[in-house]
A = this chain, B = another copy of it.
Amino acid sequence: MFIDFEKYIKTQADLTDQDIKLFRDTAMEKTLRRKDFLLQAGDVCRYKTFVCKGFLRSYRTTDNGNEHVMQFSPENSWTTDPESYENHTPSSYNIDALEYTEVIMWTKKDFDYLFEQLPSLKVYSDRLIAGNLARTRQRVFSAISATAEERYDEFMKMYPGILTRVPLHMVASFLGVSRETLSRIRHTQVKP
């Protein structure tokens, strides 16, 4: 399991085998079956998590019980609730597994230590966060400027392959439209 992470992180940051050992010494491995939770709303998100294999989903629930997907996390991606993780506050997010999933996690204490020891990790992390912010801003822009169909097309371009792994209603939830609306959009697009 850790080997997946090792392969990946070496392509992203300049790290020696000694550095990798630091990661391994503090990493916690975990496997999740479909529908298992990595984080439940109300709990504090205590870990940064790397997805080695499988598929996670982050979502929030409104007062009336509707689920809204904020993020999909396939293998070779990171997930956490940054707000809860940084401030040790109860999270608003649920993170669960959509299929059998293997992850590695680090506590904030341990990961902060890694930052101190490995300057290039901080550079990599900053780049990740910058990319995350850029994508989130783009999503806001789409939400306030584009039609449901345009948002769907953009989603398919940006995340090809996700649709084959998650049920349609979760994509609809991610886009902020009802399941039925997305179904109709897709139907009108098959004709031409």
Point out residues on A near B: beta carbons under 8 Å: 60, 62, 66, 68, 70, 82-83, 86, 126, 129-130, 132-134, 136-137, 139-141, 143-146, 173-176
Contact A134 B175 (CB under 8 A): no
Contact B134 A66 (CB under 8 A): no
Contact A133 B134 (CB under 8 A): no
- Which 10 pairs from chain A and chain B are nearest by CB? A144-B176, A143-B143, A68-B145, A136-B136, A83-B134, A133-B133, A62-B145, A139-B140, A68-B144, A140-B140
Residues of B within 8 A of A176 (CB): 143-145
CB contact under 8 A between A140 and B136, given known A129-B129, A130-B82:
yes
Which of B62, B134, B139, B144 is within 8 Å of A82, CB to CB?
Answer: B134
Which of B126, B144, B146 is within 8 Å of A175, CB to CB?
Answer: B144
Residues of B within 8 A of A70 (CB): 137, 140-141
Contact A145 B66 (CB under 8 A): yes
Q: Closest B-chain residue to A145, C-beta based?
A: B68
Complex Cα distance, B138 from A60, in Å, reads 10
Complex Cα distance, B141 from A27, in Å, reads 31
Which of B132, B145, B175 is within 8 Å of A60, CB to CB?
Answer: B145
Residues of B within 8 A of A130 (CB): 82-83, 86, 129
For residue A29, give the distance in angstroms from its CB to the closest CB of chain B.
27
Q: Closest B-chain residue to A141, C-beta based?
A: B60
Q: Closest B-chain residue to A86, C-beta based?
A: B130
